[in-house]
Amino acid sequence: GNALTIPLVPLLLRTWLDLRLAYRHSPCDGVVLVRHEGEWGHVCNQEWTLKEASVVCRQLGCGQAVGAPKYVPLSGEVVRPWLHNVSCRGDEASLWGCSLGAWTQSQCPHEWVVVALCSNGTFREVRLVKGRSPCAGLPEIRNVNGVDRLCGLHQEEATVFCRELGCGPALQASRQGEGVAGKYMTCRGTEQTIRNCRLNNNLRKGCDFQQDAQVVCSGHMEARLAGGEHPCAGRLEVRRGLTWGTICDADLDLATAHVVCRELQCGMAVSTPQDAHFGQGSGPVWTEAFRCTGNESLLFHCPRRPGHQCGHSQDAGLRCSGEFRLVNGSSACEGRVELQVQGRWAPVCAAHWDLTDATVLCQQLNCGNAVATRPGGHFGDGDAGIWPDAFHCVGTEPYLWNCPVSTLGAPACARGNAATAVCSGGSARALIEREAEGGRGSAGRWGSVPFLVQAEGRPAGTLQRPASLPRSPARPAAEGRTEPLRRPRGGVPGRRVGPRAGRRVGPARRGRRVPAAGLRRGRASL
């Protein structure tokens, strides 16, 4: 009869009303605030772990704790301490079941103010984007509400980012400049996860999201080709962290070459010139060799193992195929010849372009055989400058980049002087009949009848070589000779790119584009 009865509903209400998480987008992420005697204040703990944070998340119905960082206040921000020295086992139903210290507003160091991040909160992952590897790029935090772009990171914040991504120490922090608004984060640099840093949710001006405004970790790795006649050919250079170096030609196999070309958006590997063919590099010669399978999207993802020792006289070289297409014609098999290098489409110059070159391209595009070329500008000028590469095919090459290539000198190819091709796989017969009736033939530009009709006993599109097609020998190296994919010294014999024609990758302004050296989309033809 003398037992004390406590109403259940008010007690349940108290467990919800007297605890909350603040200063973030979600009620399940933020600084831990408690209310006592009608006033809200911070929890002050020198030791704050996932055990205490787990109880807070459980009490608020926010799932499990995923972070228990200390609070990093902004400059001038006032800390109101209230509850001191909370200690939990981790299985309590609410914070009130833990051991609670004093309720006092005595002084509390900023770094003792605590935060709880729960699994039902907004935070999901951190990443570096728009870089050439997962270990370099623009810093972002992905949450349930979208993506927060961060800017103005200093070395401390970059250090935590790189640590969380498993990318080693930070070598470069993103630099602040004028640009799009973004959010700022404050870290001490000792945190094991970015969750333990303070994110200011107020947008601020001054983010520079250009190429140089990036975080670069020591684990970053990317490739480039230098010293070649175009961006998809040259001496292979690999960047590790902030340092560029070369690799021994004996350590470059075909699978690795394919991955580099793919990373550079340059199609597939055509040849691997040796003995510093594109000139000797500077900086270190990396002694760690890549052992790619050929399916990786980035060199960064390839396994590595000890490689050869060599000097710059044996720097590896690489030629990639690029991608070709025909655009602005009546079908995907006729039009202006365009080449894509590193994501940029531009016309090929009509200088030295003839029916023999067009024949190789038509076969490469699965468009049968070349029946004509048109004067420059016949299919439009294109939206970009003209590539200065000139092809010198003999007609038997499976792909255009197997032909000898030379670079046109000054002056550059005039705008509008773009190479063209009309292939038999399109509407070539109708086009010829139509133009013959109109008397608009192009003397000296047309192929002979075998280019127009299907050879008996052969599938359509099979090259039937006319007698007029020359069988000239390949030109010497000084004029742009292509080098075969050779066996690296001390390595496994490389296999040549197969004769399989490339597949159509997708529509491009009524054009057909395919990788220029036997591959299937997404994997190397090894």
Q: What is the DSSP string of 275-313?
A: SSTT----S-EE-EEE---S--SSGGGS-EEE-----GG
Mean pLDDT value across residues 213-228: 87
Worst-scoring range by mean pLDDT, 205-209, 388-392, 484-488, 502-506?
A: 502-506
CA distance 357 to 361: 6
- Asked whether the predicted pLDDT for residue 295 surpasses 80, the reply is yes
| 14 pLDDT tier (thresholds 50, 70, 90) | very low
- Give residues with Cβ within 8 angstroms of 339, minimum separation 6: 322, 323, 324, 345, 346, 347, 348, 387, 389
Q: In whole angstroms, how far apart are CA 505 and each of 20, 117, 329, 516?
A: 53, 44, 18, 11
The top-scoring range by mean pLDDT among 23-27, 244-248, 402-406 is 244-248
Give the SS3 label for residue 48: coil
User: pLDDT (tens digit, 9 = 90+) per residue, 457-469?
Assistant: 223 332 233 333 3
- Asked whether the predicted pLDDT for residue 82 surpasses 60, the reply is yes
Place of tokens 């047309």: 446
Task: Specify the higher pLDDT residue, 182 or 31.
Answer: 31
| 373 pLDDT tier (thresholds 50, 70, 90) | very high
DSSP letter at 388 equals -
C-beta neighbour count of 468 within 10 angstroms: 9
Task: Specify the higher pLDDT residue, 67 or 300.
Answer: 300
- The residue type of 289 is A
- Asked whether the predicted pLDDT for residue 90 surpasses 80, the reply is yes
pLDDT at residue 429, as a whole number: 46
Mean pLDDT value across residues 24-53: 82
User: pLDDT (tens digit, 9 = 90+) per residue, 3-13?
Assistant: 433 333 333 33
Task: Specify the higher pLDDT residue, 39 or 283.
Answer: 283
CA distance 22 to 398: 65
Mean pLDDT value across residues 206-220: 69
pLDDT at residue 142, as a whole number: 76
pLDDT at residue 318, as a whole number: 93
* Share of residues in the chain with pLDDT > 90 (%): 18
pLDDT at residue 100, as a whole number: 84
Decide: 216 and 170 in contact? Cβ < 8 Å.
yes
| 268 pLDDT tier (thresholds 50, 70, 90) | confident
Place of tokens 């580099």: 260
| 500 pLDDT tier (thresholds 50, 70, 90) | very low
pLDDT at residue 202, as a whole number: 60
CA distance 99 to 134: 43
Scored b (16 or more CB within 10 A) or e, 409-439 reads eeeebeeebbbbbbbbbbbbeebbeeeeeee
Scored b (16 or more CB within 10 A) or e, 212-231 reads ebbbbbbbbbbbbbbbbbbb
- Give residues with Cβ within 8 angstroms of 164, minimum separation 6: 126, 192, 193, 194
Name the residue among 122, 96, 126 with its Cα closest to residue 13.
96
CA distance 12 to 398: 77
| 138 pLDDT tier (thresholds 50, 70, 90) | confident
| 184 pLDDT tier (thresholds 50, 70, 90) | confident
C-beta neighbour count of 210 within 10 angstroms: 11
C-beta neighbour count of 490 within 10 angstroms: 10
pLDDT at residue 79, as a whole number: 63
pLDDT at residue 266, as a whole number: 82
pLDDT at residue 40, as a whole number: 83
- Asked whether the predicted pLDDT for residue 253 surpasses 90, the reply is yes
- Give residues with Cβ within 8 angstroms of 473, minimum separation 6: none
CA distance 81 to 77: 13
Worst-scoring range by mean pLDDT, 3-17, 79-93, 323-337, 377-391?
A: 3-17
Q: Which helix (H) or strand (E) holds 155?
A: helix 155-164
Compute the mean pLDDT over every residue in the chain, rounded to the nearest whole number. 72
Task: Specify the higher pLDDT residue, 386 or 98.
Answer: 98
| 411 pLDDT tier (thresholds 50, 70, 90) | low
pLDDT at residue 491, as a whole number: 37
Decide: 301 and 342 in contact? Cβ < 8 Å.
no
Decide: 361 and 402 in contact? Cβ < 8 Å.
no
Which phi and psi (to 5°) does residue 91 adopt?
Answer: -105, 5
C-beta neighbour count of 357 within 10 angstroms: 25
- Asked whether the predicted pLDDT for residue 248 surpasses 90, the reply is yes
The top-scoring range by mean pLDDT among 25-29, 449-453, 496-500 is 25-29
Decide: 59 and 95 in contact? Cβ < 8 Å.
yes
| 308 pLDDT tier (thresholds 50, 70, 90) | very high
Mean pLDDT value across residues 295-307: 89
Could you give all domains of the chain from N- to C-terminal order, each with its CATH number? 8-118 (3.10.250.10), 124-217 (3.10.250.10), 222-320+484-526 (3.10.250.10), 332-479 (3.10.250.10)
Give the SS3 label for residue 199: strand
DSSP one-letter string for 161-194: HHHHTT--SEEEPPPB-SSS-EEEEE--S--SSG
pLDDT at residue 440, as a whole number: 35
Q: Which helix (H) or strand (E) holds 361?
A: helix 355-364
Mean pLDDT value across residues 420-447: 51
pLDDT at residue 401, as a whole number: 73
pLDDT at residue 492, as a whole number: 33
Decide: 148 and 175 in contact? Cβ < 8 Å.
no
Place of tokens 């192929």: 447
- Nearest 5 degrees, angle CA 473-CA 475-CA 476? 125
- Asked whether the predicted pLDDT for residue 238 surpasses 90, the reply is yes
